[in-house]
Amino acid sequence: MTTTASFRAWHRPMRPRRRDEEHRSATPLELFFDLCFVVAVAQASEGLHHDVAAGHLGHGVFSYLSVFFAIWWAWVGFTWFASAYDTDDDLYRLTVLVQIAGALILAAGVPRAFVEGDFTTITYGYVVMRLAAMANWARAAAGDPERRATTLTFVAGVGVVQLGWLLRLLLPPAWLVPAFVVLVVADLLVPVLGERRGQTTWHPRHISERYQLFTLIVLGEVVLSTSVAIQRGVDAGNGQLWSLAAAGTVIVFAIWWLYFDRPNPLPPESVPGALFWGYGHYFAFTSIAAVGAGLAVAVDHDLHTGHVSGRVAGYAVAVPVAVFLVALWGLHLPAKRGLGLVLFPATAALVLVTPWLFAPVDLIAGVLVALVAVTLVLRHRDASRTS
């Protein structure tokens, strides 16, 4: 009996979990996995901050979007698999720890990828992560005969695309960007092809919680930037930064409130709807983390250490806030009615006007407070009508 129990703890069939499983929540292992992405997100945000503050806007935006895709996609691959097949046996824990090691290698490669466009270290991190992921998909193929075609599609797709990323390292510089775009599309198509052959049993509430937790990670970048603004204001004796810090605090509070508004819609159960919801969060995550970089640019401008105008510094905050509002509107569009259909896009347009006015960051904070107030009124009005 003891031998059998020990074997089951070490290795058991990787059966699919039920989609209607009660009390399905993030595990300590998943939280540990997320923790390793904090550094990577912070480095990407910091790289964007320095490039924009130095006036290298085009390079900063492209580098940020490409590096953040690498971070986000590594997280996505693990999250959706774990939602469907987490067995929590010892073998699974070991393979996840290997993936965490790959995530740490990926994080170490973020600065070089941002500054030099060199994705070598990030690619090596992906090799470690994806070998472990392919092993888990192969275990799922053995333990879930009903979805064997799906799981084997993931094994083959992940392996072929990763081989493409390795071959990209051998290409001449002129081909790197086109190859990057092609491989990004190929990566995004793997779940499309796999899920069409048989939908995996990911848990809607668990996936929603996992995305909420990653939202908190990127919100942490905005909190950090706000804290730095206060610290630098105190050190420099610049009272103007207190206003900026207050506005940044209001902005991060408003973003949190809007994303976690009640009720928070779950991902659709259909494959196209779930893919749109899951992929659409890339824009929500990138924009939230970019708000932190924008606030840091605004601090540099107020301290006269940046090389951009006040209008550019204002847009460094306004653009990511506007993108976040549009992304959130798209993700929650099926639940919108009446004024809710146009409220978020209209607010995003208003936010984009603020850099042409006085104290744009303060104005953005005020606009977001007004948006939160309106959404509260609409929600309570709808709740009253329903009751």
Query: DSSP state, 171?
Result: S
Burial of 261 (0-12, 13-18, 19+ CB in 10 A): middle
* Predicted pLDDT of residue 7: 46
* Predicted pLDDT of residue 149: 94
> For 18-51, how does the pLDDT look when each residue is reduced to its tens digit (9 = 90+)?
888 888 889 999 999 998 888 889 889 999 998 9
* Predicted pLDDT of residue 1: 44
* Predicted pLDDT of residue 305: 81
pLDDT at position 382 over 80: no
* Predicted pLDDT of residue 11: 64
User: Coil, strand, or helix at residue 131?
Assistant: helix
* Predicted pLDDT of residue 39: 86
> For 259-309, how does the pLDDT look when each residue is reduced to its tens digit (9 = 90+)?
998 667 788 888 899 999 999 999 999 999 999 999 999 988 888 887 888
Cβ(154)–Cβ(195) below 8 Å: no
> For 232-263, how does the pLDDT look when each residue is reduced to its tens digit (9 = 90+)?
777 777 667 788 888 989 999 999 999 998 66
pLDDT category, 383, cuts 50, 70, 90? low
User: Coil, strand, or helix at residue 211?
Assistant: helix
> For 107-137, how does the pLDDT look when each residue is reduced to its tens digit (9 = 90+)?
899 888 888 888 999 999 999 999 999 999 9
Q: 290: which residues sit within 8 A by CB, 6+ positions away? A: 45, 48, 64, 319, 320, 323
CA distances in angstroms from 108 to 157, 194, 295, listed in the order given: 26, 31, 24
Identify the weakest region by mean pLDDT among 81-90, 222-231, 233-242, 307-316.
Answer: 233-242
**Cα–Cα distance for residue pair 378/371, rounded to 1 Å:** 11
Phi-psi map region of 304: left, alpha, beta (phi>0 left; psi -120 to 50 alpha): left
* Predicted pLDDT of residue 232: 74
What's the CA angle centered on 160, arms 157 and 164, to 5 degrees? 130
Residue range 168-197: mean pLDDT, rounded: 94
Cβ(115)–Cβ(47) below 8 Å: yes
* Predicted pLDDT of residue 2: 54
Cβ(201)–Cβ(208) below 8 Å: no
* Predicted pLDDT of residue 101: 94
> For 149-172, how does the pLDDT look when each residue is reduced to its tens digit (9 = 90+)?
999 999 999 999 999 999 999 999
**Cα–Cα distance for residue pair 346/220, rounded to 1 Å:** 27
- CATH (one of 1.20.1410, 1.10.3470, 3.30.1380, 2.60.40) for 204-386: 1.20.1410
Question: Which is more confident, 17 or 189?
Answer: 189
Residue range 217-233: mean pLDDT, rounded: 82
Domain ranges of the chain: 25-196, 204-386
pTM of the model: 0.91
> For 347-378, how does the pLDDT look when each residue is reduced to its tens digit (9 = 90+)?
999 999 999 998 899 999 999 999 999 988 88
Q: 309: which residues sit within 8 A by CB, 6+ positions away? A: 301
Residue range 313-327: mean pLDDT, rounded: 95
Query: What percent of the chain clears pLDDT 90, i.e. is strictly above it?
Result: 61
